[in-house]
Amino acid sequence: MKPAYLLALMGLVLFACDDDSGIKPPTQLSGFSGTITFKGAWPEDTDQIRLAAALKFPPSTIADVLLGDALPVGGDSIRYTFYTNPVALQAVGVVWKEKGQAWDATNIIGYYFPTENHLAPGTVTVTRKDEIVPNIDIECDLTKVKRAVNSAIGGMLRVQGAWPAGASKVVVAASTAPVLPSSLLDLTFSFPMDAGFDSTRYIIAVQPGTYKLVAALVIENGKSIGMESIKGAYYSFGGIKIKNAETRVLDVDLTLIFPPGSLRAAPADKPSPYTKPLK
Amino acid sequence: MHRAHRLLLALPFLFAIGPQPLPAQSSGRISGRVADAKTGEAIPGANVMIAGTVLGANSDPEGRFSINSLAPGSYDLRVSAVGYRPFLRRSIAVAAGAQVQLAVALEQTLIETGEVVVTASKRRQSIEDSPTSVGVMSNRELEQKNQVYLDKALENAAGVNFVGGQINIRGSSGYNYGAGSRVLLLIDGVPVMPGDSGDIKWSMVPASQVDHVEIVKGAGSALYGSSALGGVVNVITKNAAVKPLTHMRLSAGFYDKPMYAEWKWTDRLLHFDDIDIDHSQRIGKSNLMLALGRHQSTGYAQNGWYQRVNGLFKWQRQLTPKATLTLSSHYETNNNGTSLMWRSQSEALSVAKEALGDRVKSDKFGLNLFHRWAANEKFALNTRVSYFRNFWKNYFHDNLNASQANRIGVELQGDYQFSNSNALTFGTEEAWDIVESGLVGNHEQYVLSGYIQNERKLISALALTLGARYDLQKVDTGFKDENLSPKVGLVWHALPWMTLRGSSGSGFRAASMSERFSNSVYSGLQLVPNPTLKSETAWSHEIGASVLLLPLLSLDLSAFRSDYYDLIEPEPTVTQEIRFVNITRARISGLETSVQLQPGIPGLSLTTAWTWMDPRDLDLDATLAYRPRRISQTTLIYRIGPVEMSADYRYIARLDQVKLYPLEDRVAQKTLDLHLTWHYRQWSLGGHLNNARNHNHTQMERTLLPIRNYMLTLSGTI
């Protein structure tokens, strides 16, 4: 066969074949589903709400968060299905967006809590390409929305002792709960900071209100957040008062004290060796 | 920033020293015509060099060239053009006041060899004498690929891939949201990087207006300064002809249906068309060229439409036997929709409903003045004065923004050829950027540079290159940065058929104004400023070998490694903000090979290139984002009589790491383009099938690349 004919034939064969090994619409649906219920009145400045699923919690970058499509606004409850490839998620929640502001995946108004412990988010694991994990129900508290503010709590975060080997990130959280926080929704978090520093400044953008507790949480590699993550705390019986959206209190210093040993927290009935004495 | 006034004041002086006439009788001239040995057709853009001198010329569209100001003596002439075997004529005797007329007939070869390049050393040199890897894409290849814009054509160059429109040479750039480039784009040797974004606008010069493209791989900062950290792309536009000549190229085409019914977003036929016309002629003592182009498309994806008009003007005049002046200008106005991210993988060719009306309007204008004064065979002084303006205004649903960046540049370059074996290139460069922008604010930046490079043959087969460049950058915020970029290179013509090369050089890139000051929304992501960004630096090393076994094959092998310090990369945050940060250490190492093979069947040739890379973030011990580990390109060409058939296949490995949506599907890129062209006299009629197998892939997240499309092209010369 002459080369020209051979090439033409090859071209025709190639032309006849579509290559379907590329990107394609999802055919097998995997993900999780459930019901979202809303408590409280819808704020007038609500722009959108979306489901957010975190690969790491608290997330450090947007790559740690899967954001769903916009959900309907204004109802009492929504049935939803969130499609994703098989994945292990450390947290699932609903994020709120204020009109005129950018998305902030930390502006969470409801988490998935599978148990009564509302201080650690529930994990969700999608294992197969055709699996929809059911009953991932979320209750949202519309009074917990966080608006864009200039108000903040901040200070120095110092470290005593050597960082434990498993330490990955540090976040600082502020709580408006009267005594101790009972839910992650009572907490406002700083940006996660890489572990390993001797001292650093932290800042948390907080809503106006009175904050009784500011705590540093040390997160272990591959683990999510929980009460046992608290390694240093600042209690204020009078409370840190954030009068308005411009109030900034930037002298709330914390110390993380790491004695030799592991990251494990002290039993709840004993004073934590890592906690700064009460003020 | 009153230095611009100083630059402008200096210009009359520079031109005054340029055209100093010498007595006409003291010099001779070599002129002639370069033509195809078989067909007799003119070969435009051929490089003509007088060995051991700074003198040379490019053939015009009629193949004519002229080299003046030759002192009486004997000269060796070398002529090369891509796709032809080099022509060497030794011992041409030139007498005082005489003109030597030559008819240069070049024989076609399917194996590329001996091209003359001007980018690697800022002067004419044979590609085999370059200590760094250089790729050349000829006008013929550009026509064969039949792509309207250069970025699509350059996808077939060895070691090159694109991510979201940003060029990567051996993985240099990654993807940084259009806010800077590690590859410097030159048009006719003049940088055209907008002062605000510092990235490359590929639509500025359509491929039909280009004579050839040179791609220098590895750190080019030792001669070109900032932005050349990962390489240099020099676009050489066509020269004006002496006789009136009009060239036109018309093309039109349409997109196929999407492979999946869910992706269909309209019942309309999605189409595109392009018109490019250029005309050149001699008026008085000047050669003029004017090119105009109009390009429009509905796009293959929703909101992917564009309308563009381009213009290119070139005026060349031999002021004196020793001095030539070239004035060139390019302009583009562009109105396009934006489809940066798909609505969902189920609707991969649709955009979010709220983004449906998003569009960008932009204008780019460049004006370059180039003066070359060859005092004698040994010394030439080149002066480049350039102005580049980039204006854009976006009309996005979530932001309205506009930006205007002006850049004025002046460069003085001296070429001194001490002897056949010793050449010195040196110069100074000043650039002044003025930016008024809703994106980055109002800023001014000043860069002053000096460079020197010496190439010396240690023995007849071994050449050593030593060079360095100093750059001083000042920004109106008080930021000041100084960088010294040294370079060393060795070329050893070990055997008549084998050349070994090695080079090592330092490079740097100052953060672009976008990276430092951006404060806007990009595709739903908030860009936030980081004024404390440091310049990134790198050491690049390469060893390579080229083997030429004519007429069977040519083979080029390279091993490369670049160590980056303070690499600037985008860092998305959880609040959907993107901020550019310095990664302390990164390294990209790899191997590259390219082979041209003529397997013995007349008219059949195969070119294939493979690049393996290991791009590492050494801090995180992870793969650098948006860098593939493997790239390969293969081109098969078969010419039989007036018919040329060709196939281009590109493979780019699946990206190991991306920044935004790491869980979403990513696949390797596998693109096959088929071309069939019929040549009749000065006319060509081509049929093209791009992405013939309709492979669906992304270069960055949530953006599908063009689906299968069909195109007809008619081009010719009147």
C-alpha–C-alpha distance, residues B353 and B344, integer Å: 11
The residues, any chain, with a CB within 8 Å of residue B373's CB and separated by 6 or more, are B17, B18, B19, B20, B322, B323, B380, B381, B382, B383
Is the CB of B574 less than 8 angstroms away from the CB of A85?
no
Mean pLDDT: which of A31-35, B65-69, B239-243, B350-354 is highest? A31-35
Boundary (domain end) residue, out of A109, A144, A179: A144
- The mean pLDDT of B4-17, rounded to a whole number, is 43
- Nearest one of A72, A69, A26 to B343, comparing CA atoms: A69
Please report residues of A whose CB lies closer than 8 A to that of B674: 11, 14-15
- The mean pLDDT of A222-240, rounded to a whole number, is 74
Average per-residue pLDDT for chain B: 88
pLDDT at A263 over 80: no
pLDDT at B116 over 90: no
pLDDT value for B141 = 84
Q: What is the CATH number of the domain that holds B696?
A: 2.40.170.20
pLDDT value for A12 = 63
- The mean pLDDT of B247-253, rounded to a whole number, is 94
pLDDT value for A15 = 58
Q: What is the CATH number of the domain that holds B9?
A: 2.60.40.1120
DSSP annotation of B600:
S
Please report residues of B whose CB lies closer than 8 A to that of A19: 670, 693-695
pLDDT at B441 over 90: no
Boundary (domain end) residue, out of B109, B144, B173: B109
pLDDT value for A267 = 36
pLDDT at B298 over 70: yes
Backbone phi, psi, residue B24, to 5° = -60, -35
| Distance in Å, alpha carbon of B325 to nearest chain A alpha carbon | 48
pLDDT value for B544 = 95
pLDDT value for A1 = 53
pLDDT at B623 over 80: yes
A18 → closest Cβ in B348, B689, B694: B694
pLDDT confidence bin for B2, thresholds 50/70/90: very low
pLDDT confidence bin for B8, thresholds 50/70/90: very low
Q: Are residues A42 and A140 in the same domain?
A: yes
Q: Are residues A164 and A237 in the same domain?
A: yes
Dihedral of alpha carbons B33, B44, B48, B111, sign? negative
pLDDT confidence bin for A109, thresholds 50/70/90: very high
pLDDT at B274 over 90: yes
C-alpha–C-alpha distance, residues B634 and B267, integer Å: 35
Please report residues of B whose CB lies closer than 8 A to that of A61: 571-574, 659
The residues, any chain, with a CB within 8 Å of residue A277's CB and separated by 6 or more, are none
pLDDT at B699 over 70: yes
Q: Are residues B23 and B134 in the same domain?
A: no
pLDDT confidence bin for A19, thresholds 50/70/90: confident
Is the CB of A22 less than 8 angstroms away from the CB of B660?
no
Q: What is the CATH number of the domain that holds A206?
A: 2.60.40
Please report residues of A whose CB lies closer than 8 A to that of B603: 3
> Longest Cα pair distance anywhere in chain B, in angstroms?
77
B697 → closest Cβ in A23, A63, A66: A23
Please report residues of A whose CB lies closer than 8 A to that of B521: 102
pLDDT confidence bin for B347, thresholds 50/70/90: very high
pLDDT value for B112 = 67
Q: Are residues B542 and B620 in the same domain?
A: yes
pLDDT confidence bin for B1, thresholds 50/70/90: very low
pLDDT at A102 over 80: no
Is the CB of A18 less than 8 angstroms away from the CB of B259?
yes
Is the CB of B663 less than 8 angstroms away from the CB of A87?
yes
Boundary (domain end) residue, out of B109, B128, B153: B109
What percentage of chain A reaches a pLDDT higher than 70? 86
pLDDT value for B17 = 42
Is the CB of A22 less than 8 angstroms away from the CB of B577?
no
Boundary (domain end) residue, out of A144, A178, A208: A144
A268: contact with B, CB 8 A cutoff: no
Is the CB of B695 less than 8 angstroms away from the CB of A22?
yes
In a domain, A12, yes or no: no
pLDDT value for A80 = 93
Query: How many domains is chain B built from?
Result: 2
- The mean pLDDT of B136-141, rounded to a whole number, is 84
Boundary (domain end) residue, out of A96, A126, A144: A144
Q: Are residues B105 and B139 in the same domain?
A: no
pLDDT value for B415 = 93
pLDDT value for A13 = 65
Dihedral of alpha carbons A207, A212, A213, A214, sign? positive
Q: Is the peptide bond before B572 cis (omega within 30 degrees of 0)?
A: no
Give chain A's end-to-end CA distance (angstroms, integer): 93
pLDDT confidence bin for A85, thresholds 50/70/90: confident
pLDDT at B705 over 80: yes
B575 → closest Cβ in A3, A25, A106: A106
Please report residues of B whose CB lies closer than 8 A to that of A106: 574-575
Q: Are residues B568 and B652 in the same domain?
A: yes
For A114, the domain range is 31-144
Which chain A residue has the Cα nearest residue B521? A102
In a domain, A244, yes or no: yes
pLDDT tens profile B638-684: 988 899 999 999 999 999 999 888 878 899 999 999 999 999 988 99
pLDDT confidence bin for A7, thresholds 50/70/90: low
pLDDT value for B465 = 95
Is the CB of B574 less than 8 angstroms away from the CB of A23?
no
Please report residues of A whose CB lies closer than 8 A to that of B659: 61-63
Q: Are residues A176 and A122 in the same domain?
A: no
Q: Are residues A122 and A166 in the same domain?
A: no
pLDDT value for A276 = 43
A23 → closest Cβ in B577, B638, B704: B704
Q: Which two tokens stand for residue B329?
A: 């200008």
Q: Are residues A94 and A167 in the same domain?
A: no
B576 → closest Cβ in A55, A60, A62: A62
- The mean pLDDT of A100-125, rounded to a whole number, is 88
Give chain B's end-to-end CA distance (angstroms, integer): 49
The residues, any chain, with a CB within 8 Å of residue B146's CB and separated by 6 or more, are B251, B675, B677, B686, B688, B711, B713
pLDDT confidence bin for A5, thresholds 50/70/90: low
Q: Are residues A40 and A140 in the same domain?
A: yes
Q: Are residues B45 and B102 in the same domain?
A: yes
Is the CB of A85 less than 8 angstroms away from the CB of B647?
no
For B170, the domain range is 117-717
pLDDT tens profile B379-438: 999 999 999 999 999 998 877 889 999 999 999 999 999 888 899 999 999 999 999 988
Q: Are residues A216 and A177 in the same domain?
A: yes
Q: What is the pTM of this model?
A: 0.81
pLDDT value for A268 = 36
Report the residue of A2, A7, A14, A19 to disrupt the B interface, i.e. the one with the largest count of B CBs within 10 Å. Answer: A19
Q: Are residues B80 and B137 in the same domain?
A: no
- The mean pLDDT of B609-630, rounded to a whole number, is 93
| Distance in Å, alpha carbon of B597 to nearest chain A alpha carbon | 16
Is the CB of A105 less than 8 angstroms away from the CB of B575?
yes
Query: How many domains is chain A built from?
Result: 2
Q: Are residues B79 and B126 in the same domain?
A: no
- The mean pLDDT of B169-178, rounded to a whole number, is 87
C-alpha–C-alpha distance, residues B606 and B509, integer Å: 37
- Nearest one of B12, B80, B24 to B51, comparing CA atoms: B80
Q: Are residues A122 and A58 in the same domain?
A: yes
Q: Vertex B191, ends B567 and B53: CA angle to 5°?
A: 115
What percentage of chain B reaches a pLDDT higher than 70? 95
Is the CB of A4 less than 8 angstroms away from the CB of B638?
yes
B260 → closest Cβ in A17, A25, A61: A25
Q: Are residues A41 and A85 in the same domain?
A: yes
What percentage of chain A reaches a pLDDT higher than 90? 38
Please report residues of A whose CB lies closer than 8 A to that of B645: 4, 7-8, 11
C-alpha–C-alpha distance, residues B144 and B147, integer Å: 8
Is the CB of A26 less than 8 angstroms away from the CB of B574?
no
Please report residues of A whose CB lies closer than 8 A to that of B670: 19, 21-22
Report the residue of B262, B574, B675, B705 to disrupt the A interface, i.e. the one with the largest count of A CBs within 10 Å. Answer: B574
Is the CB of A60 less than 8 angstroms away from the CB of B692?
no
Query: Of A148-157, A233-242, B511-520, B625-634, which range is least confident?
Result: A233-242
- The mean pLDDT of B468-472, rounded to a whole number, is 94
Q: Are residues B60 and B154 in the same domain?
A: no
DSSP annotation of A229:
G
pLDDT value for A137 = 95
Query: Of B476-480, B547-551, B579-583, which range is least confident?
Result: B547-551
